Each structure stands twice: as C-alpha cells, then as structure tokens.
C-alpha cells in the first residue's frame, strides 16, 4: 500500500489510505484475527472482549480508522491517528494526552507472522483499541500521556516507560475466574497469550507502582515477569499522584532484573487454561519464543540493534 511511503508531516500523522490495502494484506489480517479470536475467549479480560465487540472488529479485513474513530469518539472521546511507525516519545505522549491514539497502518508480512520487530496495524488496532472504549482505561491512557510529558522534562522517562510496558503492553488482571490478559503486547501475540497464563516460568506479581518503575524489561523475548492489577481504576488511581517525589525516592534504589523477585513481591500462581486450543494441543500455539510485540521506545530499539 502507499500510505507507509508517504512523507509524514511534523506530527508524524499520515493518511491511512484504506482503499490502497491489497487483498493479500487483508488476508493476513483475516488469518491473524481468526487465530487470535479463538485464543482470547477465556484468556482476555471481559472489558477487552466487550470493546472488541463494540468496535465491530471483524475478520473481513483491516478496518478503516475513520469508522473506528467514530465509535471510539462516541464512547470515550478517543480517536485514531495514522502514523508510519514508531514516533518519538514527545509526539507519542502529546497524542495520548489529547485522547488521540497513534496507530501504524502497515501489516506484517506472511513470513513474519510471529516475529515482528515493531508494532503493526494488527497489534495497534486489535491489541490497543478495544480497551480505549472502557472509561477507566481510557482515562488512564490519557493520564499516562500527561505523565509522559512531565517525565520528559524531569529526565525520568525510563521509569515511566516501564509503567507503560508492564501495564498497557504486558499487563494481567485478576478476576474471579483467575488471571486474564489486558496488555496489548500479549493480546496481539498468539504465543504469549498462552505463555503468560499457562507457563510455569514467568513471575506473576501483584502490581506495585514503585516496583514496576524499578523493573527492567526485555524487548527481544517473552516477558519474564508480569504485574497483575485488580481493576482498571487501580491503574488510574496510581497515575494520579505527582510522580516527581516517587522518581526521587526510587532513584536511590537499584534497578531490578526482568526475572528477579524481591522480598515484598506478592507472587500469584498461574491459572492453566483448559481450552482445546491450549498448551500441548496439536493445533494450538505452543510456547514459541519471539520478540515481544509491545510498543517499543525508539531508544530501546536502537540499543537492541546496537548490542
């Protein structure tokens, strides 16, 4: 399609040019959509599934951002902005603070279905957008954008980026039926949707803001630690206080490795899923390893490729 080759203007926005998607690109969407739709029932949190239905996301093909924006706007005042790929942090935060979600337009290639280095339209739309219909989560993302603009000025972006990574991208939520997924990086990954709930290896720890801000993460593999919230209001409440004193407080403390546990951690047990498409089934996804599909900061990607 031609949209990705357009010259982005200063805010990095481009036209989606929906009419230019090829049949092959829509077919890749259909493949990813149908696979993930089967997996997510019983794994994704109910709020995500509700948003999924309300948006009318379907297996037909890549959706038109204009149509999705109308539905979102009517529900929570959010709209989508098409961008060519990762955008600088200040641009990203400014969009979120204005209830604008920057979404990529391109879709991964058929030979790269599970090994994507950067978020694509499937990750952004099927992973992120459904929860923007939930009022508490919609408020959280806006507050996060406002917090990001402040963190840039304070020089603490690394710590704030960890909050986004471990909540928006790779968060789990506790429900009466067990742990469920709300993180977009997981929801758009067939392998990690299974791994995060079923595999005995990763840590699942109760959400603690300071703990999250101190925890490093990997962008080249499934996560080694997931943080579990009780509800979305908890996330919004966590972003209400001024982070400046918290940044100063944890600046004196060491970072925590992605797989490490500390004495104050409240660890939760996995809740193995008994779906016929779950672990060990012939036609279901196995614990294939691949890069994490979350939104990576440009700086993280550059560092990773320079290693």
Q: Tell me the three state secondary structure of residue 281.
A: coil
Q: Give whichever of 76 and 184 is closer to Fe ion, judged by the CB atom.
A: 184
Q: Give whichever of 104 and 270 is closer to Fe ion, judged by the CB atom.
A: 104
Q: Tell me the three state secondary structure of residue 221.
A: coil
Q: Measured from the CB of residue 186, what is the shortest distance to Fe ion in angstroms?
A: 10
- Spell out, one character per residue from 228 to 267, where the chain touches Fe ion: x when CB under 5 A holds, - when not: ----------------------------------------
Q: Which stretch binds Fe ion (CB under 5 A): 74-82, 113-121, 233-241, 268-276?
A: 113-121
Strand order across the beta sheet in which 225-229 lies? 178-181, 172-175, 225-229, 203-206
Q: How far apart are CA 304 and CA 292, in angstroms?
A: 12
- Spell out, one character per residue from 197 to 226, where the chain touches Fe ion: x when CB under 5 A holds, - when not: ------------------------------
82 phi/psi in degrees, rounded to 5? -75, 135
Position with the least CB separation from Fe ion? 295
* Catalytic annotation present for 189: no
80's enclosing H/E stretch is strand 79-83
* Catalytic annotation present for 70: no
* Catalytic annotation present for 128: yes
30 to each of 17, 58, 107, 113, how far by Cα in Å? 19, 8, 11, 12
Q: How many residues bind to Fe ion according to rule CB under 5 A?
A: 4
Q: Which stretch binds Fe ion (CB under 5 A): 21-29, 153-161, 267-275, 290-298?
A: 290-298
Q: Which of 100, 295, 296, 297 binds Fe ion (CB under 5 A)?
A: 295
Q: Which of 36, 134, 167, 184 binds Fe ion (CB under 5 A)?
A: 184
Q: Measured from the CB of residue 110, what is the shortest distance to Fe ion in angstroms?
A: 21
- Secondary structure percentages of the chain, helix, strand, coil, to 5: 50, 10, 40
Is 99 a binder of Fe ion (CB under 5 A)?
A: no
Q: Measured from the CB of residue 297, what is the shortest distance to Fe ion in angstroms?
A: 11
* Catalytic annotation present for 31: no
Closest CA to 150 of 102, 80, 96: 96
200 CB-near residues (< 8 Å, 6+ apart)? 270
Closest CA to 40 of 292, 275, 282: 275
Q: Tell me the three state secondary structure of residue 178.
A: strand
90 phi/psi in degrees, rounded to 5? -65, -35
Q: Are 129 and 72 in contact (CB under 8 A)?
A: yes
Q: Measured from the CB of residue 283, what is the shortest distance to Fe ion in angstroms?
A: 27
Q: Give whichever of 138 and 277 is closer to Fe ion, judged by the CB atom.
A: 138
Catalytic entry in 188, 189, 193, 292: 188
Residues that bind Fe ion (CB under 5 A): 119, 184, 294-295
Q: Which residues are catalytic?
A: 123, 128, 169, 188
């Amino acid at each position: 399609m031609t949209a990705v080759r357009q010259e982005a203007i200063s805010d990095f926005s481009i036209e989606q040019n929906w009419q230019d998607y090829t049949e092959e690109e829509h077919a890749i969407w259909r493949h990813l959509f149908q696979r993930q739709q089967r997996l997510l029932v019983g794994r994704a949190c109910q709020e995500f599934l509700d948003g999924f239905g309300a948006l009318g996301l379907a297996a037909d093909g890549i959706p038109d951002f204009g149509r999705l924006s109308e539905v979102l706007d009517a529900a929570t005042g959010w709209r989508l902005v098409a961008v060519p790929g990762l955008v600088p942090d200040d641009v990203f935060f400014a969009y979120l603070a204005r209830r604008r979600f920057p979404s990529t337009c391109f879709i991964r290639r058929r030979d790269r279905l599970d090994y994507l280095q950067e978020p694509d339209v499937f990750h952004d739309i099927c992973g992120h957008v459904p929860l923007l219909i939930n009022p508490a989560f919609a408020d959280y993302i806006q507050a996060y954008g406002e917090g990001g603009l402040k963190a840039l000025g304070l020089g603490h972006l690394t710590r704030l980026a960890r909050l986004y990574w471990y909540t928006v991208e790779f968060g789990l939520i506790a429900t009466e039926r067990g742990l469920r997924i709300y993180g977009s990086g997981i929801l758009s990954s067939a392998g990690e949707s299974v791994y995060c709930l079923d595999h005995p290896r990763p840590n699942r720890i109760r959400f603690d803001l300071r703990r999250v801000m101190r925890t490093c993460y990997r962008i080249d593999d499934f996560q080694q630690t997931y943080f579990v919230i009780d509800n979305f209001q908890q996330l919004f409440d966590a972003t209400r206080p001024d982070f400046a004193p918290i940044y100063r407080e944890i600046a004196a403390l060491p970072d925590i490795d992605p797989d490490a546990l500390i004495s104050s951690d409240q660890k939760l047990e996995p809740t193995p899923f008994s779906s016929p498409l779950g672990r060990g089934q012939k036609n279901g996804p196995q614990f294939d390893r691949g890069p994490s599909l979350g939104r990576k900061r440009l700086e993280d990607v550059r560092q990773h490729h320079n290693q």
